[in-house]
């Protein structure tokens, strides 16, 4: 039986990052993967979707070339080539992870791993043991009883990335990050898209102003939006699919070629031996402490299988913290109140900290500032005037409580707010930090100036 210091179950951005950090710390490490290195994020999620979205953005540029004083007489899209490019990007990233495993001398064990008592993992009949076993098996598309996925007419995100033909009509159920990103992509490619959202607002975890702006931008792009609506029944017996949608006004039947179910995720915790070992689970999540130890010594869990935010960068941070604690380093528990969230539709969305409503509900007296990109020189020059930056500060001490952005490139701007909050920056300090001009990022400074009644360009 092979013996390791660390065995990691799953090679997504939680698992492979954990394995590399463990190896850097001198721990003999192995990683178990049943499919492709890189997990869902690299192969079926974060990376290939961004490749699809980039193709959509380029296509949008071509469609609006006249707005930039350019004349493009003939252009078209090749849907299969767009999908092929996305798959190529994913394959390249997966090969990159293979290289990193070799570089860091990590043993890759291919197959389905199952936990065993006594700090062991069984992979396709062969047993391996370790002092520490870390579960990082991630999650998959969640299915609703009223919306069973058949992989053909009712699909999840995996099928949405590799359709052989572009649908003429699509219904997207759910308006979280996955739903709105695919809605934007398919709409840009020319598909007639309708979004059905159960809650009153799109992207319901975001600040209400962001939700309203996205809805406005999407409607301008031709996407139909139904909020406070629920798909109660689907009929796939005909050529396409019919969805019965319950709204505040009654029932309506929508017809489409395909329904994309984007109603959240389900943790991959079945059949991996949790019950055999006695690891505690609550509501689809493995219970862990601040350092990702389960109730059974020697077994840990990180990423989407635990109660924290289901985000790739969260899984990576948790894995690094977990193995550094195992290695005896002094580590601080992760601050889940300072995790940035990003949505890569167009316009992009990025946020961190409290929304305005959450801050008020917590009893803060607040200063709120908002700067629209319509007043930004760089945004005007770029032809990307939709959106804004919104900041929320504690009026008493100047603490930066929240930052919410919607617009072009904002996912690359949010790190300023995350770092500022980590360093306990005040509104006054942000305001007196010189930002470069002309940039999209100076909208952060302008929004802070608005909060303190000192805005110049508005």
Q: Is 119 labeled as ligand-binding? A: no
Q: How far apart are CA 30 and CA 16, in angstroms?
A: 10
Contacts of 320 (CB under 8 A, 6+ apart): 17, 18, 21
Q: What is the pLDDT of residues 74-118, one digit of tens each?
A: 999 999 999 999 999 999 999 999 999 999 999 999 999 999 999
Q: Is the pLDDT of residue 257 over 90?
A: yes
What pLDDT was estimated at residue 458? 81
Asked whether residue 354 carries a pLDDT value surpassing 90, the answer given is yes
Residue 409 assigned to a binding site: no
Dist CA 220 CA 346 (whole Å): 12
Instruction: Say if residue 395 carries a ligand binding annotation.
Output: no
pLDDT reported for residue 457: 84
Q: Where are the beta strands (DSSP E) in 241-359?
A: 241-247, 250-256, 258-261, 265-267, 281-282, 285-286, 299-301, 341-343, 348-353
What is the reported pLDDT for 403?
98
Residue 130, pLDDT > 90, answer yes
* pTM attached to this predicted model: 0.94
What DSSP designation does 326 have? H
Calculate the alpha carbon distances from 377 to 308, 385, 415, 437 in Å.
39, 9, 22, 9
CB burial readout 28-52, b (16+ within 10 A) else e: bbbbbbbebbbbbbbbbbbbbbebb
37-51, 162-176, 270-284, range with the lowest pLDDT: 37-51
* Greatest Cα pair distance in the chain: 69
Q: Is pLDDT above 70 for 409? A: yes
- DSSP letter at 345? S
Nearest-Å Rg of the Cα atoms of the chain is: 23
User: Is 34:61 a contact under the CB 8 Å cutoff?
Assistant: no
Q: What are 38's two structure tokens?
A: 């890189």
The CATH 3.50.50.60 domain(s) of the chain lie at 2-140+266-336, 154-263
**136 and 30 in contact (C-beta within 8 Å)?**
no
8 Å CB contact between 194 and 254: yes
Catalytic residues: 437
In the predicted model, is pLDDT for residue 131 greater than 70?
A: yes
217 is in an annotated binding site: no
Architecture of domain 2-140+266-336: 3-Layer(bba) Sandwich (3.50)
Report the mean per-residue pLDDT for the chain: 95
HEC-encoded secondary structure of 186-199: HHHHCCEEEEECCC
Give whole-number Cα distances, 43 to 152, 179, 212, 412, in Å. Answer: 20, 18, 32, 22
3-state secondary structure of 407: strand
CB 155 within 8 A of CB 165: no
Helix (H) or strand (E) holding 319: helix 312-326
Q: Is 88 annotated as a binding residue?
A: no
Q: What is the mean pLDDT of residues 221-228?
A: 96
Whether pLDDT at 57 is above 90: yes
Q: Are 364 and 218 in contact (CB under 8 A)?
A: no
Enter the CATH code of domain 347-451.
3.30.390.30
176 appears as a binding residue in the annotation? yes
Q: What is the pLDDT of residue 66?
A: 93
pLDDT at 223 over 70: yes
Q: pLDDT, tens digit, for every residue of 1-32?
A: 689 999 999 999 999 999 999 999 999 999 99
Closest among 310, 367, 375 to 336, alpha carbons compared: 310
Inform me whether the pLDDT recorded for 373 exceeds 80: yes
Q: Which alpha helices (H) appear in 25-109, and where do they start and end?
A: 39-44, 46-63, 79-103
Residue 45 annotated as lining a ligand binding site: no
Q: Which residues lie closer than 8 Å to 96 by C-beta, 6 or more apart? A: none
CB distance 206 to 368 below 8 Å? no
Say whether 318 counts as a known binding-site residue: no
- According to the model, what pLDDT value does residue 45 have? 84
The residue with greater pLDDT, 44 or 59, is 59
Per-residue model confidence (pLDDT) at position 1: 66
Rounded to an integer, the average pLDDT of 393-403 is 96
Whether the CB-CB separation of 106 and 28 falls below 8 Å is answered with: no
Predicted local confidence at residue 2, as pLDDT: 85
Structure tokens at 71: 């004349």
Give the pLDDT confidence of 71-84 residue by residue, as tens digits. 998 999 999 999 99
String of b and e for 207-218 (b: at least 16 CB within 10 Å)?
A: bebbbebbbebb
Instruction: Identify the CATH number of the domain defined by range 154-263.
Output: 3.50.50.60
């Amino acid at each position: 039986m092979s013996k390791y210091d660390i065995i990691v179950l799953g090679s997504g951005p939680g698992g492979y990052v954990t394995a590399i950090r463990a190896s850097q710390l001198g721990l003999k490490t192995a990683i178990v993967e049943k499919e492709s290195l890189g997990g869902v994020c690299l192969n079926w999620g974060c990376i290939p979707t961004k490749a699809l979205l980039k193709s959509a953005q380029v296509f949008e540029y071509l469609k609006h070339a006249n707005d930039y004083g350019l004349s493009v007489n003939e252009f078209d899209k090749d849907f299969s080539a767009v999908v092929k490019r996305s798959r190529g990007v994913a394959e390249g990233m997966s090969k990159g992870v293979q290289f990193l495993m070799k570089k860091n001398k990590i043993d890759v064990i291919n197959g389905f791993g199952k936990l065993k008592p006594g700090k062991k993992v069984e992979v396709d009949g062969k047993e391996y043991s370790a002092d520490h076993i870390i579960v990082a098996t991630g999650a998959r598309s969640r299915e609703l009883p009223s919306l069973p996925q058949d992989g053909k007419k009712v699909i999840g995100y995996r099928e949405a990335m590799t359709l052989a033909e572009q649908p003429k009509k699509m219904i997207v159920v759910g308006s979280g990050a996955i739903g709105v990103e695919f809605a934007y992509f398919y709409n840009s490619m020319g598909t007639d898209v309708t979004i059905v959202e159960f809650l009153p607002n799109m992207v319901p975890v975001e600040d209400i102003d962001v939700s309203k702006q996205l809805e406005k931008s999407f409607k301008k792009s031709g996407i139909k939006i139904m909020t406070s609506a629920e798909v109660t029944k689907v009929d796939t017996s005909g050529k396409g699919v019919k969805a019965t949608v319950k709204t505040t006004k009654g029932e309506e039947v929508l017809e489409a070629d395909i329904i994309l179910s984007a109603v959240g995720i389900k943790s991959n915790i079945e059949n991996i031996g949790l019950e055999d070992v006695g690891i505690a689970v609550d509501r689809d999540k493995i219970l862990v402490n601040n350092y990702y130890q389960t109730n059974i010594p020697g077994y840990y869990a990180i990423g989407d299988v635990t109660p924290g935010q289901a985000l790739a960068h969260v899984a990576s941070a948790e894995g690094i913290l977990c193995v550094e604690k195992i290695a005896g380093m002094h580590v601080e528990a992760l601050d889940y109140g300072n995790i940035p969230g990003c949505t890569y539709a167009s316009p992009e969305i990025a946020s961190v900290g409290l929304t305005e409503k959450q801050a008020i509900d917590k009893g803060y007296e607040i200063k709120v500032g908002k700067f629209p990109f319509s007043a930004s020189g760089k945004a005007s020059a770029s032809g990307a005037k939709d959106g804004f930056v919104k900041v929320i500060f504690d009026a008493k001490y100047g603490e930066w409580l929240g930052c919410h952005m919607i617009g072009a490139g904002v996912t690359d701007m949010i790190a300023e707010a995350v770092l500022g909050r980590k360093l306990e920056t005040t509104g006054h300090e942000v305001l007196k930090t010189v930002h470069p001009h002309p940039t999209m990022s100076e909208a952060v400074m302008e929004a802070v100036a608005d909060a303190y009644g000192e805005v110049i360009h508005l």
